[in-house]
Structure 1
Amino acid sequence: MDKDNFVTNILILGKTGAGKSTLVNYLYGREIAVARAGRPVTEKGLHRHEPFAYNGMDIVIWDSWGLEPDKAREWWESLKEELARQSGQPHIRDWIHTVIYCYDAKKSRLDSYESEHILKPLIDMGYRVIFALTKWGLCSDTEKEAAMRVLDESYPGFSAIPVESVSQKLRGGRTTAPEGREDIFRGICLNLRKSLMYHLRCRARDEMQEAVSRAERAALAYYDKHTGYIFTVYGEDLMNEIQKIARESYENNIREVYDRLRNNITLIDSMCVAVIRGYTGIDVSEKLKGLHVIMSSIKDTRIAAWTGDWGEYFGDTLATIFTAGIRFFTRKSSYREDLEKKLGEVSEKLTQDLRSFADTLDKEDIEVNEGIEEKLNAASIRN
């Protein structure tokens, strides 16, 4: 494995007998996975094959035991647990980057349990599935048209790539020729950034929401520690200190998540550039907008905090937390309820701002991906 190559993790799934193992062998260029037609040969769980180098990428293929109707629920629960474990890894290089689903083109249909219990949950989790239409060389023209139509109607916008993994002589003297390997790798390039960015944004949404909640809890904990049990004199110094602690808690917690998001977007962009350059020789770096460039184009003042003006933003946001003039004896429980309510209002406003920020990233990222695809398609036409 070349230390300068980017490692991309590919998960190959499919029903028993759909040609999953032969596809693994075809992509590797040698026998690496056992293939026996119609028999479930892969043991339960996900299995990692050794990496192989391909045009500047080190590709790691993961596969699973064959999917069967009577074990669909058990199969999915096992897969979901493993996907959650890997997507929870702190470094992006350890995530599953692309999912390839083997669809037996000769059958010209997807079983309902495949669609409902496997593909729909995968897509809901944000995976940009590449459909490999296996056994393509064995299909009649009618079967090919039917297979394409099924995917176009059921999963519009997803890649459907005809694949023949082996050369074999058929009755009548015709011999099938392997095809689809290059198209599969091209699909990996196109899907890489889409999948990674989707999962990153989902993770960032959760982390930002937790950051807001954590900051609210920290401010209340400080209040509880520094006030009396029943009655308390609330002086200006204590009020100012509570406001200072609240502001720092929100700012520090959210800034940490924001900085991690920014760094991960930069990392994903560098991965995308490296993979596409290695596979196609095309440089798409100018199509990738850094986070600061994206944020500088945003006109929505509701998310001013995310352009770097943290101090002013948090000062304005938190200014309404504390009730003016409370510098005399009052019940701690009554004031705490008011403080908790005000902090809840601040948290809700910040949450709304975070959603607006995430929505803006979603829209901007669509344009980035469209620009990458246009450049690759233009280069393909010229060649």
Structure 2
Amino acid sequence: MARYNMVLMGKTGVGKSTLGNYLFGNNEFKTGVGKPVTSNGFHALEFDLQGLPVTVFDSWGIEANKADQWLRELNKELEKRSTKSDPMNWFHSVFYCVQASGHRIEDFEIKIMDKFIKENYKVTVIFTKSDNVNDDELDDLKKALSNEFGNKVDCIEVCSEEKTRRDGSVSKAFGKKELVDNIFANFWNSISLRLPQRCINIMQNEVEKFHKKQLNIIKKEAGYFNGSGLSSQIKNESKDFFDNITKGFLVVDEVNKTLKMYNLFGNKINTLSVNNYNNPFLDNITFESRNWWWYFPTNLISLAIWGREDTEKKLSKNIETICNEMNSNIGKMLPNIKKMIAGLKPG
């Protein structure tokens, strides 16, 4: 079953675990005072959030003197969830907790957020314990983030628990609705930002399969007297293959598959004020060849090849050159794919 993946991070002692318990209404997250309560790595916890199956990847508390070790753990986790993997495996929300009363964001925290942004994730910074600071102090923290990342980072103010202060005043918990709304919005962001590169990766993976297939044919059939015939065969098959790739069927299939997952999650969250997400966005989409076509380098295959060893070596080199050219031209599709996917946002 598809699950909504959320990652929860923050320095030791910022109230990350208290936030998790506040959001999901239980005590699954261990809490402590000023010391790490989660062991090294990212730990999966499964919840139900208003009908939505959620897996929270709770990370161990970040400490300045262990930032390099923490970043190594993060790199391993991000590698498992790269755009080469299925979107069901990605993080769909990235929450980074900053204690508002700390009044600053450390350089290594900026580095962590930047890693996610470079992976085309939308990061949401949660200012925990926001009841302890005034608006000007919160504005200063938001301004610092804006100076670093522009609009690539969202900010949410949260107080995760009700408590009575020493002066007798009561601090009410707040921010849960904003968090839940953000969870849904970030799912669209996570797929719309990362899906274009995913489509490129899928097409280039098909080129790699084609490359290996042609090398096997060359190795098996290259001979003294069939160099020209084999060269013509490879040239024709390469042109047909690239022509099919540039028509965009693989892109349409991948986007449709991912949008079905989006619709599945959208339908499970029935408490949010959202529109109908059952629209068949790409049922009738077609790509016009002229918008996706680049000149195919058929001239790269020479017909003047003699001798078995020479035939195999030259044809292998030529098919490698052609596949490299295909991958380069596929890479040029990225702006068009981004534009198409950006225009699909439901609402």
Output the TM-score relative to the length of structure 2: 0.85
Once the two structures are TM-superposed, the CA of residue 264 in structure 1 deviates from its matched residue by 3.4
Deviations 1:109-147 (A, max 9, x none): 21011112x111121122211111111111123322222
CA distance in structure 2 between the aligned counterparts of 1:233 and 1:129, rounded to whole angstroms: 61
Could you tell me which residue of structure 2 aligns to residue 57 of structure 1?
52
The correspondence for 1:94, drawn from 83, 89, 93, is 89
Q: What is the Cα deviation at residue 104 of structure 1? A: 1.2
1:264 aligns with 2:289: no
Cα deviation 1:8-36 (Å, max 9, x = unaligned) = 11110000011100110011112221111
State the secondary structure of the residue aligned to 1:353.
helix
Structure 1: state its 5+ residue gaps.
Answer: 305-312, 376-383
For residues 1-383 of structure 1, the aligned pairs below 5 Å read 7-54=3-50, 56-87=51-82, 91-116=86-111, 118-157=112-151, 158-228=153-223, 232-234=224-226, 237-243=229-235, 246=238, 261-277=251-267, 278=269, 279-285=271-277, 289-290=281-282, 293=285, 295-296=286-287, 301=290, 303-304=292-293, 317=296, 319-323=298-302, 326=304, 330-336=306-312, 338-340=314-316, 342-369=318-345, 372=346, 375=347
CA gap of 1:151–1:88, structure 2 versus 1, over 3 A, is closer
Q: Which amino acid aligns with 1:201?
A: P
Q: 1:197 to 1:288 in 2, by over 3 A?
A: farther
Aligned length: 344
Measure how far apart 1:269 and its partner are: 1.7
For the residues of structure 2 that align with 1:286 and 1:52, how far apart are their CA atoms?
Answer: 22
CA contact (8 A) 1:11 1:63 kept: yes
- Over aligned residues, Cα RMSD in angstroms? 3.2
CA contact (8 A) 1:208 1:354 kept: yes
CA contact (8 A) 2:120 2:194 kept: yes
Change (3 A) 1:272 1:221: closer
Q: Following TM superposition, by how much is the alpha carbon of 1:71 offset from its aligned partner in structure 2, in angstroms? A: 0.6
TM-score between both structures, scaled by the size of structure 1: 0.78
**What residue is the counterpart of 1:307 in the other structure?**
none
Secondary structure at 1:93's aligned position in 2?
Answer: helix
Q: CA 1:35 to 1:359, structure 2 compared with 1: closer, same or farther past 3 Å? A: same
State the alpha-carbon separation in 2 of the partners of residues 137 and 288 from structure 1. Answer: 44
More helix by percentage: 1
Identity %: 22
